[in-house]
Amino acid sequence: MAIPDWLISDERVVGIRHHEAIAGVSAEWPEWLPGEIRDSLTAAGIHHPWQHQVTAAQHLWSGRHVALSTPTASGKSLAYLMPIMAATAVDPARARLGVSCDDLRSRLGVARHTALHLAPTKALAHDQLTSARRLGPKGWLVGALDGDSSPAERQFARDHAGFLFSNPDMIHFSVLPNHTRWARFLSSLRYVVIDEAHYCRGVFGSQVGQVIRRLRRLCAVHGAEPTFILTSATMAQAGRSGAELIGEPNPLIEVAEDSSPHSGRDVVCWAPASDAPHDAAELMAGLVDAGMRVLTFVRSRAQAELVALWAAKHSTSGRAIASYRAGYLAEDRRALEKQLRSGELGGVASTSALELGIDIAGLDAVVITGFPGSLAAFWQQAGRAGRGADDALVVLVAKDDPLDAHLMAHPELIFDHPVERTVLHPSNKYVLAPHLAAAAQEQPLTPDDERWFGPTMTGIANQLSVSGLLRRRPTGWYWTQPQRAVDSIDLRGGTTKPVEIVEEASGRVIGSVDRGVVERTVHTGAVYLHQSEQWLVRELNLDDRVALVKRSELPYYTQARVEEEIHILAETDRRDLGRGVVCRGEIEMASQVTSFLRRDEQTGEVWDETPLELPMHRMRTRAMWWLVPDEVVAELQISTVQLGGGIHAAEHTAIGLLPAFAPCDRWDIGGLSAILHPDTGTTTIFVHDGADGGAGFAEYGYEIAEKWWAATRERLRSCSCDAGCPSCCISPKCGNANQMLDKHSAADLLEILLGSEPG
Domains of the chain: 5-20+262-415 (3.40.50.300), 35-255 (3.40.50.300), 444-488 (no CATH), 499-554 (no CATH), 564-592+616-754 (no CATH)
| pLDDT score recorded for residue 387 | 62
Q: What is this structure's pTM?
A: 0.76
The vertex-701 CA angle with 212 and 654, nearest 5°, equals 130
- For the beta carbon of residue 97, count every other beta carbon within 10 angstroms: 8
Helix axes 122-135, 330-342, angle to 10 degrees: 60
d(CA 694, CA 682): 24
| pLDDT score recorded for residue 406 | 83
| pLDDT score recorded for residue 642 | 94
Question: SS3 sequence, 327-391?
Answer: CCCHHHHHHHHHHHHHCCEEEEEECHHHHHCCCCCCECEEEEECCCCCHHHHHHHHCCECECCEC
d(CA 610, CA 526): 10
| pLDDT score recorded for residue 198 | 87
Locate all alpha helices (DSSP H) within 612-735, ordered by sequence: 630-636, 640-657, 697-703, 705-718
pLDDT at 110 over 60: no
pLDDT at 587 over 90: yes
| pLDDT score recorded for residue 737 | 63
d(CA 521, CA 559): 8
3-state helix, strand, coil in the chain (%, to 5): 40, 25, 35
Residue 176 has φ and ψ, to the nearest 5°, of: -65, -45
Q: Report pLDDT digits (tens) over 523-573.
A: 999 888 765 578 899 988 888 888 899 988 888 888 888 888 999 999 999
pLDDT at 102 over 80: no
Rounded average pLDDT over 658-670: 80
Largest CA distance in the chain: 88
Helix axes 743-754, 705-718, angle to 10 degrees: 140
pLDDT at 419 over 70: yes
Rounded average pLDDT over 1-27: 89
Average pLDDT over the chain reads 87
Residue among 387, 119, 309 nearest 230 (CA): 119
Which strands form 142-144's sheet, in the order they lie side by side?
A: 142-144, 163-166, 114-118, 189-194, 227-231, 66-68, 253-255
Residue among 336, 368, 404, 438 nearest 719 (CA): 404
Which residues contact residue 705 at a Cβ distance below 8 angstroms, ignoring those fewer than 6 apart? 577, 582, 624, 626, 759
Residue 527 has φ and ψ, to the nearest 5°, of: -100, 115
Q: Report pLDDT digits (tens) over 355-402.
A: 544 555 568 899 999 988 778 888 888 888 876 667 899 999 998 878
Amino acid found at 118: L
- Asked if residues 622 and 584 have their Cβ atoms less than 8 Å apart, the reply is yes
d(CA 354, CA 336): 11
| pLDDT score recorded for residue 740 | 83
Amino acid found at 227: T
Locate all alpha helices (DSSP H) within 443-497, ordered by sequence: 450-453, 457-466
Three-state DSSP state, 558:
strand
Where does the pLDDT of residue 439 fall: very low under 50, low under 70, confident under 90, or very high at 90 and above? very high
- For the beta carbon of residue 172, count every other beta carbon within 10 angstroms: 23
pLDDT at 513 over 50: yes
